[in-house]
């Protein structure tokens, strides 16, 4: 727990992530009274700016309605800015002096000069910054926490190298690796659904479940991000991290407690039962122009250097878990950009009903809709009211906007930064977890890249490659009419 004060240093304060996520989340926490006493925020980046210019920028990032003006001014009053280089001791010494002055002015005693370093930075400067911080800004005798953002490497080797370099500077206990999907309300709800409901607990296995499908769909392409995206592709950008975290929460055994290490131990254990994903269990695609020609194809993106790129913007992969609970159940991971809708959900499809009575009825399906419109619903068969004995598929529907309309769903980053302030690692990725995830994905990624497997083209705004339905059918997935 934190005593004294805390200075939150946002490194990369003028970058995209800080602008879109970090500052709005920090303000959300401030506004709702979650900052510990004596919290200060220091922005750090290369751009030279005065405090006034910085405040103007931060206000633009936060975009709050006029009614919050007073709180925004209070937030700005604890926010300052320092410019500096990412690879120069002198710059970090200057940053350190700035923080020391804040601590002294607030009468924070030695031993309580806690610091949180939020690295909203591109991977190229990651290690130089971590070194500069450790050498010049680390608060000796107090608590230090370092928040890092993906990409955590490109494959197993590069991830291990990064981990080794970071591990030489900070202890695992000081490091918080963000996967923002772990901060999403419905992802956090998975453990509650599974372990606080006796009926889910008893059917959560290969005896009752036919397949599990985790889907991520975005209706826009890589517009403006082609440079970054082309190096990574959809498998590294979304599947290996976000969807895999969801999979581990769905598949793990019950942790012995709610402690961060108990939860992460279970996640690692289940991931260790997954063999590397093979190319024959993968379908990859890349978007072309929209059917009406108004939206450009991936290769036409101005920020893309390689116009012959074979980087997938869509992928469906199947993971198998070789343990008693899940043997033979395919976990279908599907993600794509420039598709027909915006949706992230989990579909757990149950087995066909046995026996002769109701042979033709659709399967039960439990759907956890992560976004938009958070919901949990169960598709089940019901007698159609009336004089016949016809069945109809209906939903037991828990839509959040109806049931919890008076409750605010916090942004994922808000939830995660609060966890960091509280020192809770449950929703952060541990280094061994990352290592297993890369072990499962690296052979596939390398094979796709070395053999230059050409992704199947699909139209911008479509459901993905035409072969998709056929592909998932191979794994026993049957499409219900979508809700
Ligand atoms: C990021 C990816 O991690 O997640 C992006 O880099 C993706 O490509 C984003 O768009 C999706 O996040 P969300 O919260 O909008 O679902």
Residue 107, Cβ neighbours under 10 Å: how many? Answer: 9
| Alpha carbons 156 and 444: distance in angstroms, whole number | 12
Residue in this structure with the two tokens 């690796």, named with its chain if needed: 177
Check residues 285 and 68 and name the one with the higher pLDDT: 285
Nearest to 104 by CA among 96, 26, 133, 82: 96
Question: What is residue 260's predicted lDDT score, i.e. its pLDDT?
Answer: 97
pLDDT band at 483 (very low <50, low <70, confident <90, very high): very low
Question: What is residue 143's predicted lDDT score, i.e. its pLDDT?
Answer: 96
CA of 115 to the centre of ligand 1 (A): 28
Beta partners for residue 79, in sequence order: 41
The percentage of residues in the chain with a pLDDT greater than 70, rounded to a whole number, is: 99
Q: Let me know if 3 is a catalytic residue.
A: no
CA of 111 to the centre of ligand 1 (A): 38
Q: How far is CA 213 from the centre of its chain?
A: 17
Residue 206 has pLDDT above 60, yes or no: yes
Average pLDDT, the chain: 95
Determine which residue's CA is closest to atom 7 belonging to ligand 1.
Answer: 238
pLDDT 10s digits, 86-143: 999 999 999 999 999 999 999 999 999 999 999 999 888 999 999 999 999 999 999 9
Residue 331 has pLDDT above 90, yes or no: yes
Question: What is residue 482's predicted lDDT score, i.e. its pLDDT?
Answer: 47
The answer to whether residues 313 and 286 touch, using CB atoms and an 8 Å cutoff, is: yes
The residue-averaged pLDDT of 472-483 equals: 75
Tell me the H-state helices in 106-225: 123-136, 156-169, 185-195, 198-203
Specify the ligand 1 atom closest to the Cα of 184: 14
Nearest to 283 by CA among 307, 309, 313: 313
Catalytic residue among 40, 55, 242, 425: 242
Distances (CA, A) of 4 to 11, 37, 52, 300, 318: 22, 8, 28, 53, 49
Six token digits for residue 258: 């709610």
Specify the ligand 1 atom closest to the Cα of 242: 3
pLDDT 10s digits, 278-295: 999 999 999 999 999 999
Q: Identify the burial level of 11 via C-beta atoms within 10 angstroms of its C-beta, where 0-12 means exposed, 13-18 middle and 19 or more buried.
A: buried
Determine which residue's CA is closest to atom 8 belonging to ligand 1.
Answer: 237
Candidate of 180, 233, 342 to mutate for ligand 1, largest count of ligand atoms within 8 Å of Cβ: 180
Question: What is residue 189's predicted lDDT score, i.e. its pLDDT?
Answer: 98
Supply the pTM of this predicted model.
Answer: 0.96
Six token digits for residue 158: 């590069």
Residue 424 has pLDDT above 90, yes or no: yes
- ipTM field: 0.96
Query: Residues lining ligand 1, CB < 6 A?
Result: 180, 218, 237-238, 344
| Alpha carbons 287 and 299: distance in angstroms, whole number | 8
Determine which residue's CA is closest to atom 11 belonging to ligand 1.
Answer: 238
Six token digits for residue 404: 């919890």
Candidate of 238, 287, 301, 411 to mutate for ligand 1, largest count of ligand atoms within 8 Å of Cβ: 238
pLDDT 10s digits, 186-204: 999 999 999 999 999 999 9
CA of 216 to the centre of ligand 1 (A): 9
The percentage of residues in the chain with a pLDDT greater than 90, rounded to a whole number, is: 89
Q: How many residues in total does the chain contain?
A: 483
Nearest to 40 by CA among 3, 66, 9, 73: 9
């Amino acid at each position: 727990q934190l005593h004294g004060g805390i200075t939150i240093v946002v490194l990369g304060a003028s970058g995209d992530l800080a602008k879109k996520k970090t500052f709005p989340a920090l303000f959300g926490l401030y506004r709702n009274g979650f900052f510990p006493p004596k919290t200060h925020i220091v922005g750090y980046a290369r751009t030279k700016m005065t405090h006034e210019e910085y405040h103007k920028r931060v206000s633009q990032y936060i975009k709050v309605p006029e009614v919050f003006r007073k709180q925004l001014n209070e937030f700005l009053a604890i926010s300052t800015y320092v410019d500096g280089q990412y690879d120069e001791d002198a710059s970090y010494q200057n940053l350190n002096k700035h923080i020391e002055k804040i601590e002294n002015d607030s009468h924070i005693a030695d031993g309580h000069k806690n610091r949180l370093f939020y690295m909203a930075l591109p991977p190229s400067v990651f290690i130089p910054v971590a070194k500069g911080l450790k050498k010049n800004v680390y608060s000796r005798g107090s608590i230090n926490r370092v928040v890092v953002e993906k990409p955590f490497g490109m494959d197993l080797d590069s991830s291990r190298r990064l981990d080794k370099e970071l591990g030489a500077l900070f202890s695992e206990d000081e490091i918080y690796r963000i996967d923002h999907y772990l901060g999403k309300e419905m992802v956090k709800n998975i453990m509650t659904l599974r372990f606080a409901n006796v009926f889910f607990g008893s059917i959560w296995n290969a005896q009752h479940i036919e397949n599990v499908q985790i889907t991520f769909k975005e209706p826009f392409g890589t517009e403006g991000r082609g440079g970054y995206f082309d190096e990574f592709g959809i498998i590294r950008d979304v599947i290996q991290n976000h969807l895999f975290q969801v999979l581990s929460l769905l598949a793990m055994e019950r942790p012995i407690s709610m402690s961060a290490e108990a939860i992460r131990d279970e996640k690692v254990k289940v991931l260790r039962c997954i063999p590397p994903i093979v190319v024959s269990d993968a379908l990859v695609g890349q978007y072309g122009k929209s059917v009406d020609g108004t939206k450009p194809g991936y290769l036409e993106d101005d920020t893309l250097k390689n116009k012959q790129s074979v980087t997938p913007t869509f992928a469906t992969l199947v993971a198998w878990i070789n343990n008693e609970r899940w043997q033979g159940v395919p976990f279908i991971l599907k993600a794509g950009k420039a598709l027909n809708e915006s949706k992230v959900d989990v579909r757990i499809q149950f087995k066909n009903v046995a026996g002769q009575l109701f042979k033709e009825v659709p399967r039960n399906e439990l759907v956890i809709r992560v976004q938009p419109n958070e919901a949990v619903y169960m598709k089940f068969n019901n007698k159609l009211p009336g004089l016949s004995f016809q069945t109809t598929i209906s939903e037991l529907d828990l839509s959040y906007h109806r049931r919890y309309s008076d409750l605010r769903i916090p942004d994922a980053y808000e939830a995660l930064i609060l966890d960091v302030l509280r020192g809770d690692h449950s929703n952060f990725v541990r280094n061994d977890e990352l290592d297993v995830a890369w072990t499962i994905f690296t052979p596939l990624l390398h094979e796709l890249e070395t053999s230059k497997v050409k992704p199947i083209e699909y139209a911008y705004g479509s459901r993905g490659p035409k072969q998709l339905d056929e592909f998932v059918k191979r794994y026993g997935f049957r499409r219900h009419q979508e809700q």
